[in-house]
Amino acid sequence: MAAHSDATGYLLAHRDSVNEAWFHAVCEAAINSLGGNLSPNELERLWRLFCGLETFAPVATTPPALKTNARNAIQPFHLETLSDFSGFKKLSGTLRLDLSKRITLVFGRNGAGKSSLCQALKILANPEKPKEPLNNVRSSSKNIPSFSYKLRGGSVENWTELDGFGGQSQALKYFDSAVAHKHINSSISPEAVVELSAFRLECFDYAREYLKQFQAYGVSKVLECRQDTDKKISEIKLSVHAVIDTNTGVFKDWSAINCQPMLSWIGTVSFGEERRLQKTEKQARLEQLRGATSAEGQQALSLKKSLLGQIKQSLSNFVQQCIGFSYPAYSQILFSIQQKQAASVELAGVVFSKELDVTGQQRLLFAAAALRPFVPAETCPLCRQKLEGQANALFHAFHNHLTSTMQTELSVLNVQQKDEQSKKEMIESFAEINYSQYSSVLDIDFLRAVSDLIKLVKASLQVPVIDQAALGNYSRYIELNSFVETINAEHNKVASALTLASNGLQALNEEISKLTTEIGALSIDEVAYSVRPQIEAICQNAIHFASAANSVESYNFTSRLSALTARKKDAHTALVLSSFVPYLDAEYRRLCGASLEQIGVRLANQGADAIVLPKIGDELVHRVLSEGELKIHALALFMCEATVAPHQVLVLDDPVTSFDYNYISNFCERLRDYAKDNTQSQLIVLTHNWDFFANLQATLNGSGLSGSFSVQVLEDCSTVSEYVEKWEELCLQIDGYIDPQIEISPDEKSKLSALLRRLVERLTNAYVFNEQRHQYKIRALQVSNFKEFVKLVPLLPAEADRLKDLYANLSPLEHDDIRNYYSTKSIYQFGSWYDEIKSIKNAVEARRT
């Protein structure tokens, strides 16, 4: 007994046994699916679940609603005619098959054209192009094979190969030797019989397909990510290859799957301003040394050395002059002189007359003092008069003035002021060289800065008032020392290059080689450091992605698919086979009277796609069963499918070959039951087997289906007519030729002759032998009703002779041309024969007691 009501239960049970969030999502999508592929968003969600980047949040699992039964949903379909054959096998253009009744039996001997008619029906039913030729290979005609067909309620439609094949495959289903061979030698498809939508087995197919889609998506994503990473790596390598040899070291092996060495190395790389200056200096030094390798270069270096020397000397001289002059001291001297002079003026105001020039008075006093010192005494040292009162005080004031250090100090300060003034004037008058002329050896901005600084220092000495700003500007002359040092260093480098050149080319080249190596190392670090952020981002992303990529590549998707296949087989066996076997067993019982078990047939479910193989023991049925039993097997499968398939027209081409009497009777009954159970279906049966023909006719007529049943007799691939046996129906058809009393064509005469022959047979069978005699011997006759023989009416000798003559007259001689034979008979002759046959029939009926 099945553990679950449908396949979703088996899938959910399997899902629960696999504790993986992404697989839960796959199963959920499969159960809710109506078919089709997963969307990019769904695949990305599965990826995130697989990588653990997202938490699985199950949604309500709502399986899609069951589809309505296709058999009940299709529109009514009935094929009414096949006609207008052109270049189609051997079929004549005059052939017109009437299929207006629900059941049509086409009877004809081998070669009459049944297989060709069946081929036309298969063209409408089978989307595959037939392997056999459609054109008449016996004819040289180049006509494109075509025919017409008409559906009930529609207009006549024409078919050619340009219209394709299988245009009515939704409605037509056929059985022929090829289908029988397929059923016998191939696996069974219970899905064609059992309504699979009820079991939802497709959920396993969806799950397998979605798992494959996700595997392909994961592999593609890994490949895409690695390709993108490798592309970025190539771009980085391309951007640095001019400086870094990317075919060696960590760059050589750097790829999307090997990023750790590069990440470790790039983390050690740094390149700051200090190293940038080192590189610039080494590059300048290298240029100097390379220039020194030639005579012209040495001359250029010598000139450069000379020019640098001039600049250095000029700056050094200016700096030395600035060093020799103390602007703050000079300012202090001026300030002190100013103070002393103010004090002196104040002191002189006590001694000298304000009306006279102080300076002149002061010179006079000093001249007098030089003549005779002004020592304080009671008498004047000049006039020797006695000094009293104010005169005495005046002479004391003169003495104090002369003995004061004020003037001495002023004198000293004046001397100092003159000394400093001379230094200041030297600085102010310093002759600057034209620094712009030296731009060939030093940077123009450097030279401009030197010139501006010198001008600033000189300008600070020329201010009207010495303030703190002037003193500050002057003190900046010290900054010139750094310029001097730079120039001196450059001068020394040039001198060193010249010295190396004087020592020989070998020493110079060794130094050049050493510098080239050092610059190369600095350049590598510089370039690598410039792309370090990009390299680190690439490596970190690749390493972070590697774990997910490894998970995808190492995951055993094959095992997961195999597990799904195994679970599907379990569900298929428990659900489908358990439902299908009763169908097949019932068909076996109907066709041969024995069950599957009695025949020994079992259905083995095997393979990745739950293939069902019919076996007897361990052997396939086609190796064990007889030809007739194999035909039973094939027809049982076909009828299983026909019972549930949405086809409304069944076409059977010689279905009972290899059947004995019992099997033929069983199959006739099966067709009768199908016709009664499926009132909207159409049956078209083609056969050359008279036993089958008569048996089926009797079976259908005896079941009340004679009104829906038509027998069409096919002859020579060109004519087909409905076979009738009742006296009234035959007379009705004969009257159609006789009553107009006009001549008919040879072809119509042939048909009229056949009807009159059949009328003679009907006279004998029905009215002489009371339906207990048949013109043709068949094995499928019912047991005779012997009571009816008491009512037999013998023919009179004259009647028997006349019927013999009539039958001979209505039958062409062997090897004779039918058209020529009947062309000699007039319609009136046929009318006379017809009247004679009816007269004999009336006489026989009159003698019946």
Q: What is the DSSP letter of 387?
A: P
Model confidence at 838, pLDDT cuts 50, 70, 90, reads very high
Residue 818 pLDDT exceeds 50: no
Can you give the pLDDT at residue 304?
Answer: 85
Residue 326 pLDDT exceeds 70: yes
The candidate with the shortest Cα–Cα distance to 372, out of 383, 362, 360, is 383
Where helices occur in 765-849 by DSSP H, the ranges are 797-809, 818-823, 827-847
Can you give the pLDDT at residue 820?
Answer: 45
Q: Can you tell me the mean pLDDT for 139-168?
A: 87
Residue 344 pLDDT exceeds 70: no
Q: Is 4 helix (H, G, I), strand (E, B) or coil?
A: coil
Lowest mean pLDDT among 241-245, 268-272, 567-571: 567-571
Task: Give the strands of the sheet with 156-160, arranged side by side.
Answer: 97-98, 79-86, 146-151, 156-160
Can you give the pLDDT at residue 282?
Answer: 87
Can you give the pLDDT at residue 372?
Answer: 63
Q: What is the DSSP letter of 768?
A: I
Can you give the pLDDT at residue 816?
Answer: 45
CA dist 669 to 290, 582, 587, 641, 675, Å? 113, 19, 12, 18, 10
The candidate with the shortest Cα–Cα distance to 285, out of 444, 527, 513, 502, is 513
| Residue 493 token pair | 């480098």
Residue 139 pLDDT exceeds 60: yes
Can you give the pLDDT at residue 777?
Answer: 43
Residue 775 pLDDT exceeds 70: no
Q: Can you tell me the mean pLDDT for 448-474?
A: 89
Superfamily covering domain 79-171+647-715: P-loop containing nucleotide triphosphate hydrolases (3.40.50.300)
* Three-class HEC string of 129-191: CCCCCCCCCCCCCCCCCEEEEEECCCCEEEEEHHHCCCCCCCCEEEECHHHHHHHHHCCECHH
Can you give the pLDDT at residue 225?
Answer: 93
Q: Is 611 helix (H, G, I), strand (E, B) or coil?
A: strand
Can you give the pLDDT at residue 218?
Answer: 92
The neighbouring-strand residues paired with 649 are 172, 682
Q: What is the pLDDT of residues 43-90, one digit of tens each?
A: 999 999 888 888 887 765 555 554 544 445 556 789 989 898 888 888
Share of the chain above pLDDT 90, in %: 16
Q: Are 167 and 160 in contact (CB under 8 A)?
A: no
CA distance 450 to 473: 14
Model confidence at 817, pLDDT cuts 50, 70, 90, reads very low
Q: What is the pLDDT of residues 745-770, one digit of tens each?
A: 877 887 888 888 888 888 877 777 76
CA distance 448 to 450: 5
Model confidence at 815, pLDDT cuts 50, 70, 90, reads very low
Q: Under CATH, what is the fold of the domain 724-847?
A: Four Helix Bundle (Hemerythrin (Met), subunit A) (1.20.120)
- Residue type for position 183: H
The answer to pTM > 0.85 is no
Q: What is the pLDDT of residues 169-179, one digit of tens each?
A: 888 888 887 77
Can you give the pLDDT at residue 610?
Answer: 56
Residue 364 pLDDT exceeds 80: no
Model confidence at 346, pLDDT cuts 50, 70, 90, reads low
Can you give the pLDDT at residue 68?
Answer: 45
| Residue 674 token pair | 């199908």
Ramachandran bin of 716, using left for φ above 0, alpha for ψ from -120 to 50, beta for the remaining angles: left
Can you give the pLDDT at residue 350?
Answer: 59
Can you give the pLDDT at residue 541?
Answer: 94
Q: What is the pLDDT of residues 486-508, one digit of tens each?
A: 888 888 888 888 888 888 888 88
Model confidence at 276, pLDDT cuts 50, 70, 90, reads very high
Residue extents of the structural domains in the chain? 79-171+647-715, 307-503, 724-847
Q: What average pLDDT is seen over the chain?
A: 81
Model confidence at 636, pLDDT cuts 50, 70, 90, reads confident
Residue 655 pLDDT exceeds 70: yes
| Residue 815 token pair | 């090897």
Residue 448 pLDDT exceeds 80: yes
Can you give the pLDDT at residue 773?
Answer: 57
* Between 810 and 316, the higher pLDDT residue: 316
Stated as kind and residue range, the H or E segment containing 720 is strand 719-722
Torsion angles phi and psi, residue 693, rounded to 5: -60, -50
Q: Please state at what angle helix 295-324 crosses helix 480-503, rounded to 10 degrees.
A: 150
